[in-house]
Structure 1
Amino acid sequence: MNTCTAAKTEINAILFDMDNTLFDFAAAKIVSCGKICEFLGKGTDWDLMRYFLNSGLGYENHANIEKFMKDNGIYNEADYETAVCIYESVKLNSLVLYDNVIPTLEKIRAAGIKTAIITDAESSQAKKRLTKTNLAQYFDCAVSPDISGARKPEPPTFLCALEKLGTAAGVSMVVGDSLRREIEPANKLGMTSVYAKYGDWMKIPAKDVIPDYTIENFGELAGILSLE
């Protein structure tokens, strides 16, 4: 099996978070919220974005749009359906890869390292985003809650990805932008953890979670893996 040497151990597989690790999903989501508000003639991008963040309905649930409209006294089914279409299309078309993602993934694949996506997006959504950004070809598999039966930071998503790749935690790496949802479970499972700090737009403190590596640019992975 091909391996590359990192400072901590030999790595033969990498599990990547998707949103805000490979591309700026938060920015795309905010743009889509703004376009909805323009269509409805009510509120701002962040007025609607706060519903997705704080309503408790779920970060990707269209019910957030419905609640926003009802709370503002502007709900009707036709406009709601249009708003949902705007949300999905603008969000997808606004995805922008972070710098050095494709060149670095090409180096990783050329080195024979197996790769997987671990995401809380449903499989259908993950497939659309990976296809739109031309990233699907760089991954052996993608594990979503509808596949693993759980959401991060619970272990099943990570363990399912390891099983699909045919590898073990001790020789695998996790790369993600969330200290609680990716780095902490990676540490607990004995995996090498890489905190993609550049994508952590919420910056929720987690002083007790210490990643093995912290990167400010996706391209720094090549150095960690001695691929440069």
Structure 2
Amino acid sequence: MTTRVLVCDDQALIRTGFATIIDAQPDLEVVGECGDGRTAVDLAGDLRPDVVVMDVRMPVLDGIAATRQLAGAGVARPVKVLVVTTFNLDEYVYEALRAGASGFLLKDAPAAQLLHGIRTVAAGAALLAPEVTRQLVGRYAARIRPAEDTPPGAPLTPRELDVLRLVADGRSNREIAAALVISQETVKTHVSRILTKLDLRDRVQAVVYAYRRGLVT
């Protein structure tokens, strides 16, 4: 299946460059381009892209706010967002993830990384490694609790809570399996159930959720 991509960046040359690289792939198709977050939100509603490649600093509506409207909690038909920016600031990364983004890349990354990022996000996976996410969210843990705006979700079993805490600690499936003396397939099953119960899209969101609910320190 072809992955439909919307490219949003206020710099026309970068926007065109991204579109050219993406459209050259047989499994990717650029369905639209725009230069501000408000237009991105409107176009996403009309064009139904699978992934939005989103800049951060833009006029009218910035990329973080646009991401929140496209992929944030409570959005009826969320769209996967890959944030691509020139600004390598921890707070931008954190705010993008908290807004609902599934990944984060710098604009100077090789074209192959951009394409990999789009495919990864389209497949429903997180682009950032869990340990990177843990470092970012952990740095802002004091800021993001208490979490009155985070819905509680369905109750987790004691074992699912154990798995969620280890996911939030940046552990891989293999490391979680070793720590809990279970198989990696069982870990995958637990992670899948956790995401379903809590209505989370991927492990990145699970890490943010765990910190916001005070499950890890």
Larger-gyration structure (1/2): 1
Would you say same fold, with TM above 0.5? no
**TM-score scaled to structure 1, two decimals?**
0.35
**TM-score scaled to structure 2, two decimals?**
0.36
- Greater RCO, 1 or 2 (C-alpha within 8 Å, sep 6+): 1
